[in-house]
């Protein structure tokens, strides 16, 4: 086994062969789903980047590790669910994640809220503001 540093270690080789044999006995119904390559449109990529930026900003503001919400795939799952390409409710719309971020992202995707960037460059701030409350907030800021 060229390039395999444990090729002469009989214990490792036997463990590896046992794993291969066990995998071969696994029925196809229990196999993991294969990775599905997708070619996203430029707007889908921009939307994903936008959701990621909003998520990062909210996590920063609320002092929560972004890693607790999951990665980009969770945002893709949410986008697919909202677009009707997926029927299973995504992780970002269950439990505490739905309360913390999921609803805000759905409102953004549905056009019921908008993003406000302010304070650049000294104290940049990104907020998701529900429609209607943005005008009120801007009026209050002018006072």
Check: CB of residue 56 under 8 Å from CB of residue 63: no
Q: Which residue, 53, 99, 59, is CA-closest to 75?
A: 53
The domain segmentation of the chain, as residue ranges, is 1-31, 42-112
Kindly give the confidence (pLDDT) of every residue in the chain, 143 residues in length, as a single tens digit, with 9 standing for 90 and above. 677 777 778 888 889 899 999 999 999 888 888 777 778 899 999 999 999 999 999 999 999 999 999 999 999 999 999 999 989 999 999 999 999 999 999 999 999 999 999 999 999 999 889 886 545 554 455 44
Which CATH topology does 42-112 take?
DNA polymerase; domain 1 (1.10.150)
Q: What is the pTM of this model?
A: 0.66
Q: Which residue, 42, 48, 128, is CA-closest to 80?
A: 48
């Amino acid at each position: 086994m060229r390039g395999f540093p444990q090729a002469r270690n009989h214990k490792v080789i036997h463990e590896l062969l046992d794993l291969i044999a066990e995998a071969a006995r696994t029925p196809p119904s229990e196999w993991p789903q294969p990775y599905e390559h997708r070619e996203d449109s430029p707007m889908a990529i921009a939307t994903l980047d936008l959701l990621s930026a909003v998520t990062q900003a909210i996590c920063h503001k609320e002092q929560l590790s972004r890693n607790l919400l999951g990665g980009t795939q969770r945002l893709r799952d949410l986008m697919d669910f909202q677009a009707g390409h997926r029927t299973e409710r995504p992780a970002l719309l269950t439990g505490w994640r739905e309360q913390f971020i999921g609803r805000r992202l759905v409102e953004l995707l549905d056009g019921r809220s908008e993003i406000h960037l302010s304070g650049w460059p000294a104290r940049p701030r990104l907020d998701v503001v529900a429609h209607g409350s943005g005008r009120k907030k801007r009026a209050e800021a002018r006072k």
